[in-house]
Amino acid sequence: MLGKMALKPYLIYEITDLTKGEPDSPKITSFKLVSKDGQNFKFLPGMFSSIFINPEDKLFRSYSIASSPLSRHMEFMIEMINGKFTSRLSGLKVNDEIYISEPRGNFVYNPENVEKALFLAAGIGIAPFFSMLRYVRDIDMKKDITLLYSVKHKEDIVNPSELDGFTNIGLNAVFTVTRDPEDVKWKGETGRINIPMIKRHISDLNSRTVYLCGGIKFVKDIVSELVAEGIRDEDIKRDIWGE
Ligand SMILES: Cc1cc2nc3c(=O)[nH]c(=O)nc-3n(C[C@H](O)[C@H](O)[C@H](O)COP(=O)(O)OP(=O)(O)OC[C@H]3O[C@@H](n4cnc5c(N)ncnc54)[C@H](O)[C@@H]3O)c2cc1C
């Protein structure tokens, strides 16, 4: 029956928790899963898996893993845009089963090998960075990481208090909102991430490994700006989603 699936190997996971982002990021649903037979995939922080709902059809989408590789749960943070696949995901409930392909991808962060990092995320492109930061926390390391995270509205920030808590592992988290410039309660950055904004928060851009995740325009624009700043291509790791 499972032979029709396009990607193998895969495991069956059960949904144990479905939560909206904290405090109430309305568009994001976090799916927490446990493997049905207790066998878990091994992965590195930053990798993604494909999710299938029905093994009888070939519809699947890829999602970055947001949980730490050391966590018992596997977690995905998914923006419910009511598209072909997300509209089906929104019908799922706790205890339902879904099918997860073996994690893969080259967008991998190994804290042992990276001295100083700059993480740049747009929208739900923050998901793989949760896996990276949670992993650093789980292995009890302290790193020098600056994160610039852009969202349309401040309510879109996923798990802001968890991100703030990562100061313990050496994270400097900077949020920027690209809409609502008139919101007088917002004291953080506004507008899209660019080199001047990055330089307001770090003085050593050229000695950092840069990790970027988001839509194709976000990634392409920033990569060209970074290259123009003299950052070497091999120091820019990128994960591009969609068109
Ligand atoms: C490696 C990889 C990792 C990914 N990780 C995540 C993740 O962690 N969380 C996540 O939510 N998505 C992630 N995505 C995107 C995901 O695979 C789907 O594209 C997304 O969920 C939309 O699927 P859909 O079938 O509902 O929409 P579709 O019906 O396929 O698409 C509808 C339209 O919406 C656009 N679109 C896709 N995503 C968004 C978005 N977030 N906002 C606005 N428009 C969008 C598509 O480009 C398309 O034009 C990832 C994609 C890749 C390739």
pLDDT in tens, 87-119: 999 999 999 999 999 999 999 999 999 999 999
What value does the mean pLDDT take over residues 207-235?
A: 95
Q: From atom 43 of ligand 1, which residue's Cα is the shortest distance away? A: 81
Q: From atom 37 of ligand 1, which residue's Cα is the shortest distance away? A: 242
What value does the mean pLDDT take over residues 63-82?
A: 96
Q: From atom 6 of ligand 1, which residue's Cα is the shortest distance away? A: 63
Q: From atom 32 of ligand 1, which residue's Cα is the shortest distance away? A: 83
Inform me whether the pLDDT recorded for 3 exceeds 80.
no
**Secondary structure of residue 218 in the 3-state scheme:** helix
CATH 2.40.30.10 region(s) of the chain? Answer: 2-101
Inform me whether the pLDDT recorded for 1 exceeds 50.
no
Q: 72-76, 151-155, 203-207: which has the minimum mean pLDDT?
A: 151-155
CATH 3.40.50.80 region(s) of the chain? Answer: 116-241
Site to substitute for ligand 1 among 80, 156, 241, most atoms within 8 A of C-beta: 241
DSSP, residue by residue, 68-83? -TT-SSEEEEEE----
Sign of the alpha-carbon torsion through 177, 180, 182, 186: negative
Q: What's the pLDDT tens digit per position in 134-188?
A: 999 999 999 999 999 999 998 899 999 999 999 999 999 999 999 876 777 888 9
Contact by Cβ (8 Å): 180, 209: no
Distance 88 CA to ligand 1 centre (A): 13
Q: What's the pLDDT tens digit per position in 42-57?
A: 999 999 999 999 877 7
- The band of 4, judged by pLDDT with boundaries at 50, 70 and 90, is very low
- Topology (CATH) of 116-241: Rossmann fold (3.40.50)
Contact by Cβ (8 Å): 65, 118: no
The CATH-assigned architecture of domain 2-101 is: Beta Barrel (2.40)
